[in-house]
Structure 1
């Protein structure tokens, strides 16, 4: 962690929005069986900007078999298909982009592999320093979180919403808020300046994924 991350946040107000906050869906770890139907139902529920394919522990062939039908559903709904962690899988699938954790490689290398039109996102936890480094490396968005407790993955960072206001006030690169976000707790993150809310269990844990997506859409429209 850089020393600048330990300094208190200045009092930044987010700039006026050019467009509403948008929804960024992250897959559960199990995407076989009936999940394609749940994905289609979610995307039918309202606007979704992107879907991240996040499946762990599979070889590239098995991962590609699971990803391909989901990628086709996203294409039907004009939703960007993003691969978590693996530049190689993103390249193999011709995905719209890749999301990199801090141990998953450099945005510059991903850009060389995937080309100028690929969307490259970087996890920055609660670190202003990591976010600025990602921006300098050519990331298309930076992701901060986890903002709330989450069971989707183990987390140790809990940034304040003010990090979103700080980023939005100083940089044009979009920021994504992630971690335990639901329609009930999302409003402060939207108000702080998040360009995207990345959600998983709030949609896939719901009985009706489409209704959960619609609830986020209602929040964004306020």
Structure 2
């Protein structure tokens, strides 16, 4: 557990699909340096299996002082004591989740494909907006559209944003240079052959060296 969160772009981990040893790989990543949160997507699993996994990963993340955000299923997030919910849906669905759950956990959103989408979702006052798609970080560099949206949003809007990095760990620097508060890492940390602890440590080293300081407040 970090003593104090650094005042620069921080890491958000995207949990990989379920598989042998995935819990150990996630724990290794969580133990390797500063991580702000862990987002747990459903990955097309059935509800019971997803809830069991979400509960296990929530306890694991929270044990390391890391917030756990469950994607797509507000009821499961509430049942397992997660710290947040990630919504990919309409403005109305997001507004309903904000109304029902934001008093007890954070409610974030994704799915914006352009500025108009982002502004529409932002009107509901989520706790963050995510630019990118889970599982689509297959190229070394982040998607240019996500970088452009993150740079625009971070300059114009007070709600924090998360920008999806690429499959190359060095891409955290590119994301940080947009001014985004958070960089999401999935493939770069959890792909086969990657050492999750080494990748998180390297990402933090790059962010410490190159990420601009964020304005307070």
TM-score under structure 2 length normalisation: 0.82
Structure 1 distance, partners of 2:108, 2:33, is 23
Structure 2 distance, partners of 1:160, 1:96, is 25
1:88 to 66, 72, 75: 75
Once the two structures are TM-superposed, the CA of residue 210 in structure 1 deviates from its matched residue by 0.6
1:46 to 33, 43, 46: 33
1:221 is matched with 208
Once the two structures are TM-superposed, the CA of residue 113 in structure 1 deviates from its matched residue by 2.9
Once the two structures are TM-superposed, the CA of residue 143 in structure 1 deviates from its matched residue by 1.2
Once the two structures are TM-superposed, the CA of residue 124 in structure 1 deviates from its matched residue by 3.8
Deviations 1:39-75 (A, max 9, x none): 1111111111010111233332221222222111111
* Aligned 1:1-222 pairs, distance under 5 A: 19-30=7-18, 32-102=19-89, 106-145=93-132, 150-151=137-138, 158-159=144-145, 161-205=147-191, 206-222=193-209
Once the two structures are TM-superposed, the CA of residue 165 in structure 1 deviates from its matched residue by 2.4
Once the two structures are TM-superposed, the CA of residue 104 in structure 1 deviates from its matched residue by 9.3
Conserved 8 A contact 1:80-1:96 = yes
User: Residue 198 of structure 2 aligns to a residue in which SS?
Assistant: helix
Q: Which runs of 5+ in 1 are unaligned?
A: 1-17
The higher-RCO structure (CA 8 Å, 6+ apart) is: 1
Deviates more, 1:178-187 or 1:19-28: 178-187
1:6 is matched with none
Once the two structures are TM-superposed, the CA of residue 103 in structure 1 deviates from its matched residue by 5.4
Structure 1 distance, partners of 2:138, 2:174, is 21
Instruction: State the superposition RMSD in angstroms.
Output: 2.3
Conserved 8 A contact 1:53-1:84 = yes
Q: Which runs of 5+ in 2 are unaligned?
A: 1-5, 210-217
Structure 2 distance, partners of 1:105, 1:64, is 24
Distance 1:160 1:67, change over 3 A: closer
TM-score under structure 1 length normalisation: 0.80
Deviations 1:153-200 (A, max 9, x none): xxxx85163322221121111111015253222322211111111111
Conserved 8 A contact 2:165-2:171 = no
Once the two structures are TM-superposed, the CA of residue 38 in structure 1 deviates from its matched residue by 1.1
Distance 1:208 1:105, change over 3 A: farther
Structure 2 distance, partners of 1:111, 1:25, is 23
